[in-house]
Amino acid sequence: MGKPMRKVAIVGGATTKMKARHVDKTYFELAFEAVKEALAHARIQKEDIESCVYGIYNDLFERQFMPDFFVHDYLGMGLKPGVRVTTGGATGGSAIREGFCQVASGLHDLVLVAGCEKCSDCFNYEVGKESPELLQVLRYAADMTWESPTGRTAATVFALPIVAHQELYGGQPTEEQMAKVSVKNHWHATKNPKAHSPMNLTVEKVLKSPMICYPFKFYDNCLYSEGAAALILASEQIAKEITDRPVWISGVGASLDYASMGNRYMDDPKGVAEFRSSIVAAKRAYEMAGIKNPRKEISFAELHDAFTGTEIMAYEDCGFCAKGEGGRLVDEGVVRLGGEMPVNPSGGLLGMGHPVGATGIMQTVEATLQLRDEAGERQVKNARRGMVQSIGAVGCAWTVAFVLERGE
Amino acid sequence: MEKSEAQKWYERNGARIDVSAEKMRRFYERELENWKNIGDPLEYPDKIEIFYKYTYGGQSRFFRELRENKALFGSKCQKCGKVFCPPRADCNRCYEKTEWLRLSGEGTVVTCCSVHFTNSSFIKKIPFICALIRLDGTDFLMISNIEMDDISRAKPGMRVRAAFRDERDGAITDFYFEPCP
């Protein structure tokens, strides 16, 4: 494995408010809002940006092929390099990784990474609701010949590994443990003014909410959000000139597993009961950052909790605990705000929101605020080092993992 | 009203019956009427539709056997002997060609779940079962539906067999799985 040629800092970032519907803004206007605030946060001008990376998941949500092209225009970035990244739910993480590469390689000194998504322009006229039509778009992300015609959804391809995991590890995670993740993250969101779903739930209320896809009840699922997020990356020299609070990206790992779970199973029958890409990406990020014991050496994590059970599986696959013990971290309060290692102090996807292409960037902005002591009520005490996991596609095919460190 | 052939085909294949232009027009009329200020957001109806005649390529025989002979076929790597179903013309481990292999159509559920909310195409079919099934004689998994009276009884380890629809037109929806008796 190679290593980065230069250090890369995050020098600013911002997100819009996450909402089911921003009826007053298009996707490029949402991106503009986040970018304007991120530039102000970094105390730089748009003219200072040398190169842009855009994380936008899905052309059908935006009702536009190559939507990045129009974001670039609207941001007034004409003639600068601009590239769009799309890797499913991990789009935001992959966009940051692309920006990281541009700075680490010496190609650019100041790079904008911006993500946006507008999912609720989709509308099912027959039932008068957005959600079935929004999910209709995701139908085209499944293997069109073999999988899509089964009616499977994003929830299905995450529920299947959870059920396989339960089968292998004595029913872990339990439905009650998953409900506790929902309660925790929605509660964290009450401390985040940008959050889509701040709520004080109870385990009982989660367990009694309508079944969406077994074992996920309504409150086990994140909502699709409209929103945007932006991050400014800088080389060490520039970072030191413009801020006394840089956040260093000290570890980057990425992995793309097989699209078909059959291929994972062929490697190892356990391959459908774990997130192999998260294991590989987290390990690589820890190696780069020199982390030996993530549980002890990481202060907090922003994990991709599109579904409660996936957060618990992520504890295991990101090395916070042994296989089958993820649920215990929730039971013992380790992962709540105030606990030993808070997970998703932002509220995560469940509480803060899931603006797909912007999600990984949103998570990283939140981790950045933590490491700059700017996280307000949701601030993790003594946050020195954070971890971000950005995942996507069938049963977590994609993972991008980052380790972020507080600058001295 | 008698359903058209096209409509029946769409329903069989889980594709969507076209939303009537009328519903979109009525929505937009309401949208045009309901405003206070001239700068209020305006939502305009639209749709994207593309027609295809996509090729199954090296997987074509699977669909012809399915339609003509109610048979499921896998593909076996000529080098490592691993059997794929869904089939592949090329082994992605050895980079060698595969050969066709007739399967019994029986298999074991590796993992499964019941779906209670889904996309526009399938929303009228809920609840239903999605499962990863290892077909006997294969080393791979196929995602498919299991049709059974009590869906809460679908569990990993369950034995299932392929059941074929009477009207088949060469698509994965020509068959589903049911519990072995």
Q: What's the mean pLDDT when you consider all of chain B?
A: 91
**Could you tell me if B35 lies within 8 Å of chain A, comparing CB atoms?**
no
How close B92 comes to chain A (CA, Å)? 9
pLDDT for B4: 65
pLDDT of residue B93: 96
pLDDT at A228 over 80: yes
Q: How far is A97 from chain B (nearest CA, A)?
A: 27
Over range A221-248, report the average pLDDT.
97
What pTM does this model have?
0.96
CB-based contact B91:B77 (threshold 8 Å): yes
Mutate to test the interface with A, among B35, B50, B59, B132 (most CBs of A within 10 A): B132
Selection from A305, A331, A327 nearest residue A316 by Cα: A327
Q: Residue B3: is its pLDDT beyond 70?
A: no
- Considering only residues A380 and B125, tell me which one the structure prediction assigns the higher pLDDT: A380
User: Is A186 domain-assigned?
Assistant: no
**Does residue B82 sit at the A interface (CB-CB below 8 Å)?**
yes
Q: Does B43 touch chain A (CB under 8 A)?
A: yes
pLDDT at B13: 56
Q: Tell me the HSE value of A292 on the side-chain side, using a 13 A CA sphere.
A: 0
Q: Is the per-residue pLDDT at B163 higher than 60?
A: yes
Above 80 in pLDDT, residue B1? no
Residue B2, pLDDT above cutoff 90: no
Helical pair A276-289 and A308-317, crossing angle rounded to 10 deg: 50
CB A13 within 8 A of CB A232: yes
Q: Which domain holds residue A116?
A: 8-122+226-234
- Minimum distance, in Å, between the CA of residue B61 and any CA atom of chain A: 14
The answer to whether residue A251 sits within a structural domain is no
pLDDT tens per residue, range B10-69 = 566 555 556 678 889 999 999 999 999 999 999 999 988 889 999 999 999 999 999 999
Residue A217 has pLDDT above 80, yes or no: yes
The share of chain A scoring above pLDDT 70, in percent, equals 100
CB contact under 8 A, A213 and B117: yes
Nearest CA in chain B to A221: B117
CA distance A138 to chain B (A): 8
Asked if B112 lies within 8 A of A153 by C-beta distance, the reply is no
Cis? peptide before A4, omega within 30° of 0 = no
* Residue-averaged pLDDT of chain A: 97
pLDDT for A240? 96
ipTM for the whole predicted complex goes beyond 0.90: yes
Residue A322 has pLDDT above 70, yes or no: yes
Given A63, A125, A146, which is nearest B143 (Cβ)?
Answer: A146
Q: What does the block give as tokens for A118? A: 């507008």
> Rg for chain B (alpha carbons), in Å?
22
* Per-residue pLDDT tens digits for A328-343: 999 999 999 999 999 9
Write out pLDDT tens, residues A15-73: 999 999 999 999 999 999 999 999 999 999 999 999 999 999 999 999 999 999 999 99
Three state DSSP letters for chain B: CCCCHHHHHHHHCCCCCCCCHHHHHHHHHHHHHCCCCCCCCCCCCCCCCCCCCCCCHHHHHHHHHHHHHCCCEEEEECCCCCEECCCCCECCCCCCEEEEEECCCEEEEEEEEEECCCCCCCHHHCCEEEEEEEECCCCCCEEEEECCCCHHHCCCCCEEEEEECCCCCCCHHHEEEEECC
Distance from CA of B181 to the nearest CA of A (A): 23
Q: Do A214 and B114 touch (CB under 8 A)?
A: yes
In chain B, what percentage of residues exceed pLDDT 90? 78
Q: Which of B178, B179, B175, B157 is nearest to B166 (CA)?
A: B175
Is 80 exceeded by the pLDDT of residue A279?
A: yes
- Buried b / exposed e over A309-330, threshold 16 CB at 10 Å, is bbbbbbbbbbbbbeebbbbbbb
- Look at residue A1 and tell me whether its pLDDT is greater than 90: no
The yes-or-no verdict on residue A200 having pLDDT over 90 is: yes
Contact B120 A124 (CB under 8 A): yes
Query: CA nearest A353: which of A117, A41, A34, A160?
Result: A117
3-state per-residue secondary structure call for chain A: CCCCCCCEEEEEEEECCCECCCCCCCHHHHHHHHHHHHHHHHCCCHHHCCEEEEECCCHHHHCCCCHHHHHHHHCCCCCCCEEEECECECHHHHHHHHHHHHHHCCCCCEEEEEEEECCCCCCECCCCECHHHHHHHHHCCCCCCCCHHHCCCHHHHHHHHHHHHHHHCCCCCCHHHHHHHHHHHHHHHCCCCCCCCCCCCCHHHHHHCCEEECCEEHHHECCECEEEEEEEEEEHHHHHHHCCCCEEEEEEEEEECCCCHHHHHHHCHHHHCCCHHHHHHHHHHHHHHCCCCHHHHCCEEECCCCEHHHHHHHHHHCCCCCCCCHHHHHHCCCCCCCCCCCECCCCHHHHCCECHHHHHHHHHHHHHHHHCCCCHHHCCCCCCEEEEEEEECCCCCEEEEEEEEECC
pLDDT of residue B18: 60
pLDDT of B15: 54
| Interface test mutation site (partner A, options B10, B76, B141, max chain A beta carbons within 10 A) | B141
Q: How many structural domains does chain A have?
A: 1
Backbone φ and ψ of A301, nearest 5°: -140, 145
Whether the per-residue pLDDT at B118 is higher than 90: the answer is no
The stretch B57-85 carries a mean pLDDT of 98
| Domain ranges for chain B | 1-51, 57-179
Residues of A in contact with B42 (CB under 8 A): none
CATH number of domain containing A59? 3.40.47.10
